[in-house]
Amino acid sequence: MNLVIDEGNTLVKTAVFQNDRLLDKQSFNKKEFSEKFQIIRKNFPEIANSVISSVASQNSDLIAEVRKRYSLLEFDQNVRLPFTNKYATPETLGKDRIALVAAAVNSFPGKNVLIIDAGTCITYDIKTEREIYLGGAISPGMEMRFKSLHKFTANLPLVKPKQDVELIGNSTETSILSGIINGIRMELRGVIDVYDTEFEDLTVIFTGGDSQILSIPLKNSIFANSNFLLEGLNFILEFNRTQ
Catalytically annotated residues: 96
Determine if residue 210 is labeled as part of a ligand binding site.
no
Determine if residue 169 is labeled as part of a ligand binding site.
no
129, with CB counted inside 10 A (0-12, 13-18, 19+), is middle
| DSSP at 233 | H
Determine if residue 10 is labeled as part of a ligand binding site.
yes
Determine if residue 31 is labeled as part of a ligand binding site.
no
C-alpha span between 236 and 234 (Å, rounded): 5
Determine if residue 120 is labeled as part of a ligand binding site.
yes
Determine if residue 135 is labeled as part of a ligand binding site.
no
| Three-state secondary structure string covering 11-69 | EEEEEEEECCEEEEEEEEEHHHHHHHHHHHHHHCCCCCEEEEEECCCCCHHHHHHHHCC
Determine if residue 4 is labeled as part of a ligand binding site.
no
Determine if residue 119 is labeled as part of a ligand binding site.
no
* φ, ψ for residue 90, nearest 5 deg: -60, -25
Annotated binding-site members: 6-13, 87, 94-97, 117, 120, 172
Q: Which residues are annotated as a binding site for substrate?
A: 87, 94-97, 172
Question: Which residue ranges are tagged as binding site for ATP?
Answer: 6-13, 120
- The annotation places the binding site for K(+) at 117
